[in-house]
Structure 1
């Protein structure tokens, strides 16, 4: 008879899981007993937070779910931050953890790794958290998790299993995985109502969020037929081609775009929570919607948050957009490239360009070098100054090629491990982790994981010797700059100690040369960029 742990890994493979991130511990070793009999790849990060960030990056880059094996207690407290980032950004991951033996649960006897209530700890960063108390429930609990991934707003799911259940005998499993669900579509009345309002609108604007990331074809047909300017949240970048004549980019927090949105008689918001870090990035409270609002979201609860809609439609974005295109009888070739709205958008983009300061222009040029040198690169950002600029003006060439932690939960230390996950999921694409010197110190140890797995991740280190963004905020608000001028280590020496290649860029042309060399290596490369050198000397 197989153990419950052995049955679990077989079910993971049956549901399509091909990668597990985990650090084996005394409470989880029985999960590994059957792993060798599967085709699942195991990756060992150097910290459980890194495991969660890797699973996050893997899911964003591929659209597929990865799993994490996490020990009881400290393993769960460590991964909670990564789950929080994934929860905020609607990213799926399956976290399988151990917990103490059934008879020990809640006993508070000082057992190894004991938490008072592990599920309560993660309730706020998981779509679902379940304790498996009987091996006969394993198939049902797994089916529930994968049904959520397939048909609801994607977020982390946590399943904890007492160590005596993991090591104990399994139950008879169904001959095949239980079928998962389909994404919900809009009701016909909702499509008709939305189509009627869109057809009558004289100045429509469309706001696309990450929930629309798989709906590029229908999105393009709709905006071009309606002659509607559109914006993209960070997780929607790449939905339509860069430089599209109706694209306002991701500048919803800047005055010229806000003015255009404020003048719209109808706003359609698709797959976006209309959250602060995408629409009020500078926290000034200036984002307004004065016209009628249609909201479409797979999460029905989200439809009543932040902005109340005139028409609220719970549905998958692609199913809605495809349906409304059909209702409006939009032909696939319907396009207005020289439309009145396109001329208006061009004027707004000129105003936006004029607002950029010297640092922002340098960041734009940095991204230009990355895209020109590595055209199919995936760029993964941490919370660092160039990423803040890129949040506004970077234009991705396809979806799933730009993501970061500067929005949503806003954690530090995300960039490198998430880039490792992306590289594992997309081995044929170059992956660039754009990380500041402060954020790098949160998770630099994950370079060892990249080295041992021969991953050509490029760690582009933006070094401004401290927490510069926070320091500037403190200075602007007349707050003493305490705690932000931190010691800066020799990153090149540290990276070499892990076994990574290192170099330092001295110009944009030199950076392009280094990126090309790094992408051809069999392991990771750290390329350091000195911020003051870029602003003062780079040509």
Structure 2
């Protein structure tokens, strides 16, 4: 007999799902029955929070939703942090959980894994949370979920299946259709596009902000930038929309003085798929972010169009579809003359030069390290936790293409993200991924070293070890707070990594890594490179 749990796997496969991240439990055994003969791969994590981060990394690297199976109660509560991170960054994630049987929901009788209201709990970190009470609901709610992912602003969706619904017969349900119909978002309204086109064509010194919502429109963003001779400032999640060598590409933080100066000298600002939020645009919390020029803003979320800055022309629609429609008609006015003068190219070059001069010595050193990584692994993605190298990269790392630079240091800012997200990104893309982590955050999800080996992820970890929460310690000192709770006893990370089957090496922070990275590339397999920053670095190095 085909059950609802078995039918669910068939349904997911029809939507193109090829990977599910999960940890089986007694409440989800019957979800796994359908995976046995399925083409859908199952990746077993060591903790639900980490499997959520893996799904997040998979989604960011591929552009497809990451899918998770978790148990009732603690599986859902453990997933909440990962869901919140994905919610903050508009990442498509489908979380499918079990829940106690119908009639037992919220009873308070002490059933295994019982929560007072699991659906309500998950709803605060998801676009919607739904309890399937009848087998016939399942195709409809899955269709709703994938419509969220393909139209509007993608965010996590939670669907819970009561234990008695999972095992209910599904023989009368319609056979999944592949590909199934799904909703999509089209271009902005023609009248709004015409107004934006007129403003853009008349501008003499325009500039563009490109965020994560424009990742799928890289070719069209490039067209717009070149047609307007407009510098493009890429946010943290928008890095790589223009390649590093492009004359109009700017990978400096939108909070930098260099970008502020360029904003003040612009007569039109075009924002594409970006929240204009403080962690990108007011990183130093000094209130210096303000629109001094008319704003044309394109976003798929109607509410977001009016958060943080109000546009003179709001464009509600898909970034790629809207720019394709604009390109079809072309631009008029002074755009051609402005481009001929190469004014925007000079402005972009000046911004890059000024941005580089703003950096302190440590940030410059970190950016040089990241450039070494890019040279040795030009196809690799770099995925990060909250750590110094990530902060430096957010200030000025130029990603080679979209979806190759992302981290959890801004927005929701969950620690422990780096390693599992790197694993998910590698399994989804099939490519090498370099993970940037600090010793504090790394220990949140250290056990996922085993997941990486078990499932063949191609991951290299650059682990900065200062034996504590260094950034928080610095924050305490800057506020005249005596550091407490920030110094950690750390394990022998090299020994731990080797115990999990990784190659591992310990060097002093600041050591050129080109030779070691080349060795890792030649040998293959997962690698951990620990960068020591303690006063005893030389003593430790002598032991190895």
TM-score (norm 2): 0.94
- Partners of 2:58 and 2:343 in 1: CA distance: 41
**8 Å contact kept, 2:198–2:331:** no
1:318-347 CA-partner distances (Å, limit 9, x unpaired): 1111222233358xxx89487122222222
- Partners of 2:100 and 2:201 in 1: CA distance: 59
Show the counterpart of 2:187.
185
Structure 1 position 357 matched with structure 2 position 366: no
- Partners of 1:76 and 1:38 in 2: CA distance: 25
- Partners of 2:459 and 2:340 in 1: CA distance: 38
Show the counterpart of 1:62.
62
Structure 1 position 379 matched with structure 2 position 367: no
Q: Give the match's secondary structure for 1:461.
A: strand
Q: CA deviation at 1:248?
A: 2.8
Structure 1 position 303 matched with structure 2 position 336: no
Structure 1 position 264 matched with structure 2 position 266: yes
Q: How does 1:54-453 map to 2 (within 5 A)?
A: 54-170=54-170, 172-177=172-177, 178-329=180-331, 336=339, 339-427=342-430, 429-453=431-455
**8 Å contact kept, 1:18–1:66:** no
Q: CA deviation at 1:211?
A: 0.5
Unaligned ranges ≥5, structure 1? none
Q: CA deviation at 1:535?
A: 12
Q: 1:531 to 1:508 in 2, by over 3 A?
A: closer
Q: CA deviation at 1:533?
A: 8.5
- Partners of 1:145 and 1:347 in 2: CA distance: 45
- Partners of 1:20 and 1:160 in 2: CA distance: 16
Q: CA deviation at 1:249?
A: 1.8
- Partners of 1:413 and 1:144 in 2: CA distance: 31
Of residues 467, 472, 475, the one that matches 1:473 is 475
Q: How does 1:442-521 map to 2 (within 5 A)?
A: 442-506=444-508, 511-521=513-523
Q: CA deviation at 1:250?
A: 3.3
1:76-120 CA-partner distances (Å, limit 9, x unpaired): 110110111111111111100000011101111111100111111
**8 Å contact kept, 1:55–1:68:** yes
- Partners of 1:535 and 1:44 in 2: CA distance: 36
**8 Å contact kept, 1:199–1:328:** no
- Partners of 1:284 and 1:441 in 2: CA distance: 33
Q: 1:530 to 1:163 in 2, by over 3 A?
A: same
Q: CA deviation at 1:503?
A: 0.8
Q: CA deviation at 1:511?
A: 2.0
**8 Å contact kept, 1:251–1:393:** yes
**8 Å contact kept, 2:252–2:352:** no
Q: Give the match's secondary structure for 1:37.
A: coil
**8 Å contact kept, 2:186–2:318:** yes
1:147-191 CA-partner distances (Å, limit 9, x unpaired): 111112111111001011101212522233341112221111111
**8 Å contact kept, 1:381–1:434:** yes
Q: CA deviation at 1:410?
A: 0.7
TM-score (norm 1): 0.95
**8 Å contact kept, 1:262–1:288:** no
Q: Give the match's secondary structure for 2:103.
A: helix
Q: Give the match's secondary structure for 1:33.
A: helix
**8 Å contact kept, 1:505–1:528:** yes
Alpha-carbon RMSD across the aligned residues, in angstroms, is: 2.2
- Partners of 2:201 and 2:535 in 1: CA distance: 53
Q: Give the match's secondary structure for 2:207.
A: strand
- Partners of 1:169 and 1:69 in 2: CA distance: 20
**8 Å contact kept, 1:70–1:95:** yes
Q: 1:11 to 1:499 in 2, by over 3 A?
A: same
Q: Give the match's secondary structure for 2:303.
A: helix
- Partners of 2:87 and 2:171 in 1: CA distance: 32
- Partners of 1:424 and 1:229 in 2: CA distance: 34
Q: CA deviation at 1:205?
A: 1.3
Q: Give the match's secondary structure for 2:36.
A: helix
